[in-house]
A and B are shown apart, each in its own frame.
Chain A
Amino acid sequence: KNQVEQSPQSLIILEGKNCTLQCNYTVSPFSNLRWYKQDTGRGPVSLTIMTFSENTKSNGRYTATLDADTKQSSLHITASQLSDSASYICVVSSNQAGTALIFGKGTTLSVSS
């Protein structure tokens, strides 16, 4: 069964600190993986998109990694800011016909001052 598991479920860090969020997936055949940021009460917004051949991709203070062999991805946030407080969702696409996007449950990040 196609699944996306994220850890931790929630995380609290101090402003200025770094953190890493994890995403493990069992989706096959794999097409690509995206990380989304969802502010409370809003729709998710894409942070990064990674295909099978990409290992690392950065978007400002956000760096995503992908290990297609172990089917793992991580999202590293550097020098966290209060505005980083949100839910971060890992989404995997499959090439299989008739399969929609497969969402993880998200990691809720709280950045405190």
Chain B
Amino acid sequence: DGGITQSPKYLFRKEGQNVTLSCEQNLNHDAMYWYRQDPGQGLRLIYYSQIVNDFQKGDIAEGYSVSREKKESFPLTVTSAQKNPTAFYLCASSAQRNTEAFFGQGTRLTVV
């Protein structure tokens, strides 16, 4: 099936550890995005990439890092510098910058 896959669905980490969230798409989309969602709040953009080997910071990039070495993959690393990493993380992709975004099912990260 074509789509966008995030893994794992639930992730637990100890405070101070880096953790990498996976996002893979087989839709042949150029653009990919990472969002963070906290209870009662909207989606906030962390990073986005419009093409392989290129990415831009979003509104809340501090404490996060990404890479885009392949068109189909856009992993997000939550570093120990992120002060409040517990949240629901959503990855999305779109054919071009202004076309419809398709979302993964999300990863719920809990840092204890």
Interface residues of A (CB under 8 A from B): 31-32, 34, 36, 41-46, 49, 89, 91, 93-95, 98-101, 103-106
Q: Is the interface of B mostly helix, strand, loop or mixed?
A: strand
Number of interface residues of B (CB under 8 A): 25
Q: Does B43 contact A (CB under 8 A)?
A: yes
Query: What is the minimal beta-carbon distance from A12 to any residue of chain B, in angstroms?
Result: 16
Q: Which residues of B contact A49 (CB under 8 A)?
A: 100
Q: How far is the CA of A41 from the CA of B35 in the complex (A)?
A: 14
Nearest residue (CB) in A for B6 is: A43
Chain B 68-112, CB-CB to A under 8 Å as 1, else 0, gives 000000000000000000001010101001101111111010000
Taking a contact as CB atoms under 8 Å apart, the answer to whether A43 and B43 are in contact is no
Taking a contact as CB atoms under 8 Å apart, the answer to whether B105 and A89 are in contact is no
